[in-house]
Amino acid sequence: MTQSGAGGSSTESAAIPPFRAEPGALYVVATPIGNLRDLTLRALDILASADVIAAEDTRVTLPLLRRHGITTKPWSLHAHNEAEQSGAIVAALGQGRSVALVTDAGTPALSDPGARLVREVRAAGFRVVPIPGASALATALAAAGLRAATFAFLGFLPAQDKARRALVEPLAALPMALMVYEAPHRVRATVQWLHEMLGERDLVVARELTKVFETIALVPLREAAAWLAAESNRERGEFVLIVDAPVDSAPIGVPPEAERWLRALVAELPPARAARVVAQLTGAARDACYARALALKDAGG
């Protein structure tokens, strides 16, 4: 069936027929991140007509399907079985079946399973069709009011400090916002670590997005840990943390004293740590120290 309903004016929308999942196609379907009414009509059409529904956790997806009268029993596809299940899904597509992929909440393959499946389906020559909808990433950005014109999405930060630093240090001096997902039991430690790495910036804390206790707050990064600790409810739920770009992102120089310290330290310490020490010793801007430490490191000191 040709999907002729795309586009059109609002007055024409009543005449748009339901969409149907087509044979041999994988549909990547966004589901609500909290508010159950944030499931699009097209997503409902696809879930209702797909031969197979692959779900990150069938226990989460089944109630959503039942709520809308969808009786298809979902297959399990999660981080630990994605390699095995990808082959089974490619085989199903080869048999002319249609497949809808969902995760527990939001858009698949964004810090959730799905990217490997999409690659394998495309490599096998089958269609991959995105069905857009809810995304914690886009929802938080829309309400953040950032100064930064660009951002980097880092997903969940690595657990090991060395890996976290390797990820964040190259981005610390750039004039962009940094976005991460975080779980409640780690959120306070994470904002403390981000302050140590990034210095004086603004932080947007977005939690429980689209749910009853949704919170979107702007706090100085240096005060974020205390702000979270001030009320127990602030540490509950799933978090999107957005560190805005520095207020003054323009490259600036460092004073001669800071330059001397930086030259002495970059041979022994990572750039971020050298910049932090020099900023504390001299009062120079940490962002400027970090940018200069990177340049010195690249030049061999």
Please report, in tens digits, the pLDDT of each residue of the chain (301 residues total).
445 455 555 555 567 889 999 999 999 999 999 999 999 999 999 999 999 999 999 999 999 999 999 999 999 999 999 999 999 999 999 999 999 999 999 999 998 999 999 999 999 999 999 999 999 999 999 999 998 889 999 999 999 999 999 999 889 878 899 999 999 999 999 999 999 999 889 999 999 999 999 999 999 999 999 999 999 999 999 999 999 998 755 444 678 788 889 989 998 999 999 999 999 998 888 888 888 888 887 766 5
- Provide the token pair at 192: 């403390």
Q: Under DSSP, is residue 240 helix (H, G, I), strand (E, B) or coil?
A: strand
Predicted local confidence at residue 1, as pLDDT: 43
Cα distances (Å, whole numbers) of residue 142 to 96, 139, 216, 288: 39, 5, 11, 29
Angstrom distance (rounded) from CA 65 to CA 52: 13
Class of domain 137-243: alpha beta
Angstrom distance (rounded) from CA 291 to CA 296: 9
Q: Under DSSP, is residue 206 helix (H, G, I), strand (E, B) or coil?
A: strand
Listed as own residue / partner, the contacts of 272-278 with beta carbons closer than 8 Å and 24 or more positions apart are: 272/165, 272/168, 272/169, 272/172, 272/197, 276/196, 278/254
Q: Under DSSP, is residue 274 helix (H, G, I), strand (E, B) or coil?
A: helix
Domain boundaries, the chain: 10-134, 137-243, 256-298
Predicted local confidence at residue 250, as pLDDT: 42
- Homologous superfamily of 10-134: Tetrapyrrole methylase, N-terminal domain (3.40.1010.10)
What is the model's pTM?
0.77
Question: Residue 129's closest CA among 5, 46, 37?
Answer: 46
Q: Under DSSP, is residue 239 helix (H, G, I), strand (E, B) or coil?
A: strand
Length of the chain: 301
Mention every residue, 6+ apart, whose C-beta is less than 8 A from residue 1.
Answer: 20, 22
